[in-house]
Amino acid sequence: MLTKFSPSRFLGIAIAFLQRFQQRRIRSFSLLFAVGLSLTLAVSACSPSASDNGTPQTTQVPSPAASATTVRIGYQKASTVLYALKAKGELEKAFAASGSSVTWSEFPAGPPLLEALNAGSIDFGYTGESPPIFAQAAGIPLVYVAYDPWSPKAEAILVPKDSPIKSVAELKGKKVAFAKGSNANYLLVKALEKAGVQYSDIQRVTLTPADARAVFEAKKVDAWAIWDPYLAAAEAATGTRTLADATGLAPNRGYYLAAKPFVDGKPDVLKIVLDQVKKVSDWAKNNPTEVAKFLSPALGIDAPVLEIAEKRREYDVLPLTDEVITKQQEVADTFYKIKLIPKEIKVKEIVWEGKVNNS
């Protein structure tokens, strides 16, 4: 049955409709006006303006270094310089004037640190020589921005003091613990190669330093490839024997790495970070006893043991030279040869062309 037509009811509906339509138009216009006003102000701020006497004036636009930003840094407790930089708060002080801030994320080793860089969780970090090789092969957008000479004496392949194994050649068929993708991984490869043993001829047990030490001390593995300060701690605690350190086998350098978007977008901020890293590095180089005392509570390693590690390593923050790039390329080529990475890479393609302040 049809409802009887009512002119007054129809008029009421029409008025309500027009009111709602008008409200929507007002809201839309208000939004457009706000956007337009914002754009106008932004353009005005970046454009020449006139003073009361008609003389053009230029508004100063802050440089990237002066603009407030947040720098996200990944570190390992065993990476002395970045850990000290965090504890001392020197970078925060350097950024105070610009209103910038720093956030810190701790990682157990280099590979997970670079995975975080790939995920966009950090902008800057430090690892040994091997992790960036794996990262580049995996397509992670990272850039080498500086290197740390470290020391060939600061990593080694260990066996228990009562082990019957006397040489690297005798590791054939044995269980060897190491962190996959670490600098110790490369040392192991080169030491085996020199001894005439195939990498595939050992039983590879890939573990973090803490887990590796536990199985090593329990004698569930035959050998352990590790770096300082875990190396020094193991030597002091268990009286281990060294089958080989990195002398003549691996450069054992450390690398300061950054996410490519950070390098491209904030080069001035990156330089501030590197300047502060350099200052702390110089302090560490000249004060091994102080560094050992400083790190001891965080690492749970006695200061005298840490001092041994500190005195056998080098410190600096240096630009990558052709020689350093060539050596790092050798690491990449070695890993590709034994199929640890799926494709050939060119290290030089991801080296920063900026300048490191070495004053």
- pLDDT tens column, 137-170: 999 999 999 999 989 999 999 999 999 999 999 9
- Listed in order, the ranges of the chain carrying CATH 3.40.190.10 are 70-150+253-350, 153-245
Find the helix or strand (DSSP H, E) in which 281 lies.
helix 267-286
Q: Which CATH superfamily is domain 70-150+253-350 in?
A: Periplasmic binding protein-like II (3.40.190.10)
The token pair that represents 41 in the structure block? 């102000």
Say how far apart CA 253 and CA 46 lie, in whole Å: 45
Residue 85: per-residue pLDDT = 94
| Residue 333 vs residue 97, higher pLDDT | 333
162-217 residue pLDDT tens? 999 999 999 999 999 999 888 899 999 999 999 999 999 999 999 988 899 999 99
Residues 91-131 pLDDT 10s? 999 998 888 899 999 998 888 999 999 999 999 999 999 99
| Residue 67 pLDDT grade (very low, low, confident, very high; cuts 50, 70, 90) | low
Q: What does the alpha-carbon distance between residue 114 and residue 110 come to, in Å, rounded to a whole number?
A: 6
Quick one: pLDDT band at residue 10, thresholds 50, 70, 90? very low
Instruction: Provide the 3-class DSSP secondary structure of residue 290.
Output: helix
Which tens digit of pLDDT belongs to each residue from 291-319? Answer: 999 889 988 899 999 999 999 999 999 99
C-alpha–C-alpha distance, residues 214 and 286, integer Å: 33
What global pTM score does this model have? 0.76
CATH class of 153-245: alpha beta
Instruction: Tell me the average pLDDT of the chain.
Output: 83
